[in-house]
């Protein structure tokens, strides 16, 4: 399962994501991981959730993020939910230019396939106008 929270900067996506992380950490018996760009959520996230600063691991492209996620799950079979805050900041080449959302859709489809294969849920934020979302992105709302 993949869920996308989309909106422009300042609409409360990160705050909402932090709330979802904390709820998952309280409710789920298995591991909860939150990948963020920088140490922005350090004081907002429940200690039961593993908070990962993507910049500490030099994650700046989608292929690195895929590898990082794969490694997390391979090394920790108890991970049930991975949250990703600010997808475009972490994987900068996914940021949409000229209205081409194909790379974002491809990444989301990969997450969905990975989710089904490994039983891990994903929730992520994308900073963009909701009305710009393609059908390939809307299916994850």
Residues 6+ apart with CB under 8 A from 140: 2, 3, 4, 108, 112
Instruction: Please give the pLDDT value at position 28.
Output: 81
Cβ atoms of 123 and 117 within 8 Å: the answer is no
Counting the structural domains of the chain, the total is 1
Q: What pLDDT digit, counting tens, does each position of 11-55 carry?
A: 999 999 999 999 999 998 789 999 999 998 989 999 999 999 999
Sheet holding 79-84, edge to edge: 2-7, 121-127, 79-84, 31-36, 50-53
Per-residue pLDDT, averaged over 97-123, amounts to 96
The pair of three-digit structure tokens given for residue 132, joined into one six-digit string: 């710009």
Find the domain containing 26 and state its range.
2-138
Instruction: Please give the pLDDT value at position 110.
Output: 98
Q: What pLDDT digit, counting tens, does each position of 66-86 carry?
A: 999 999 999 999 999 999 999
The pTM of this model reads 0.96
Cβ atoms of 137 and 87 within 8 Å: the answer is no
Instruction: Please give the pLDDT value at position 99.
Output: 87
CATH code of the domain covering residue 83: 3.40.50.300
Cβ atoms of 52 and 33 within 8 Å: the answer is yes
């Amino acid at each position: 399962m993949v869920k996308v929270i989309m909106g422009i900067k300042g609409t409360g996506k990160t705050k909402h994501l932090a709330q979802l992380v904390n709820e998952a950490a309280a409710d789920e018996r298995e591991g909860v991981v939150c990948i963020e760009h920088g140490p922005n959520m350090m004081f907002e996230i429940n200690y039961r959730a593993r908070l990962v600063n993507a910049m500490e691991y030099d994650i700046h492209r989608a292929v690195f993020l895929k590898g990082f996620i794969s490694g997390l799950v391979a090394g920790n079979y108890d991970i049930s939910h991975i949250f990703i805050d600010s997808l475009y900041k972490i994987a900068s080449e996914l940021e949409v230019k000229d209205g081409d959302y194909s790379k974002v859709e491809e990444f989301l489809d990969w997450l969905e396939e990975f989710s089904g294969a490994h039983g891990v849920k994903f929730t992520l934020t994308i900073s963009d106008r909701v009305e710009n979302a393609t059908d390939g992105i809307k299916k994850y709302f």
